[in-house]
Amino acid sequence: MQEICAEAGMSPGNLYRYFPSKEALIIGISERNRADAMESFAAAESDPNFFRGLENLARHHLVERTAQEVGLCAEIMAETRRNPEIARVYQAIETELRARLVALLKSASERGEILSDLDFDSAVSALMVLADGMSWRRAVDPNFDPEVVLPLILHMVHCVLTEPPRAQAALPEKSS
């Protein structure tokens, strides 16, 4: 709370006039982040090029956020493990994000930009894991440069979403 008060430029007493508890403050920050995410999703959904929209979405959330914002998001994710109310709010936001991502993929599939036979739920899970991993890496590694890694991640995502899976070579049988 001391760090939050210092960042906000106010005393803890003044902060508690606006937020009656630490939980209320975290929920308020989470709701602000949700609104920001929904705004950036609207921009991605209106882009006629799926991959450009996805890149802009990723850049906004994974590169352009300040180190403080990234660190705060990591703290909120950790708090979901300790506080059921924060976990409930966080899961509601995640459910909404997941639905928007599925809709984004389905729309791209209908336009022929990505494979039509994708398991959209699994693809969204993979995208979320990649995003969470980049955010976490930014939060814990001061030398991590998301500008360097993002193009590689986007290339991998492009390959997964546009190229049919290759048949796996038969594994040699184990001898007894």
CB atoms within 10 A of CB 19: 16
pLDDT for the residue numbered 87: 92
pLDDT score of 170 more than 60: no
CA distances from 159 to 116, 166, 172 (A): 14, 11, 28
Does residue 147 surpass a pLDDT of 60?
yes
**What is the pLDDT at residue 5?**
67
- What pLDDT is stored for residue 12 in this prediction? 73
Rounded to an integer, what distance in angstroms lies between the CA atom of residue 59 and that of residue 47?
A: 15
Q: Taking 80 as the threshold, does the pLDDT of residue 80 lie above it?
A: yes
pLDDT value at position 168? Answer: 53
Q: Which domains does the chain possess?
A: 23-162 (1.10.357.10)
Assign 173 a pLDDT band (cuts: 50, 70, 90). low
Q: What percent of the chain has pLDDT over 70?
A: 89
